[in-house]
Structure 1
């Protein structure tokens, strides 16, 4: 097996950096989506809690 050259190692490093940046971007997008879903679930929960309180008050 031949030894890698400096040029081939630099090219591999460049590719790995690009892949890492892509993963970081995707991760940030995924996390933003999760945060938005959590906000929506909180809104739904608050709405349901208000509805339950309203229904209990009618009794």
Structure 2
């Protein structure tokens, strides 16, 4: 999936099974990525997007 946040397109995917959750995201414009792996059934997409937007903040704030 690809969405635009703060002016930058992010490609991402999440998933989960048996009490585990994962999230992976990529900003293709800056070649920056983030991955969250968790041993919990709770969603981890918010922490993933926070990591990725913080890592690319300087490039996307324009």
Same fold (TM over 0.5): no
Question: Which has more strand, going by share of residues?
Answer: 2
User: Max radius of gyration: which structure?
Assistant: 1
- Bin the TM-score by the shorter chain: under 0.3
Structure number with higher relative contact order (C-alpha < 8 Å, ≥ 6 residues apart):
2
Structure 1-normalised TM-score? 0.28
Question: Which has more helix, going by share of residues?
Answer: 1
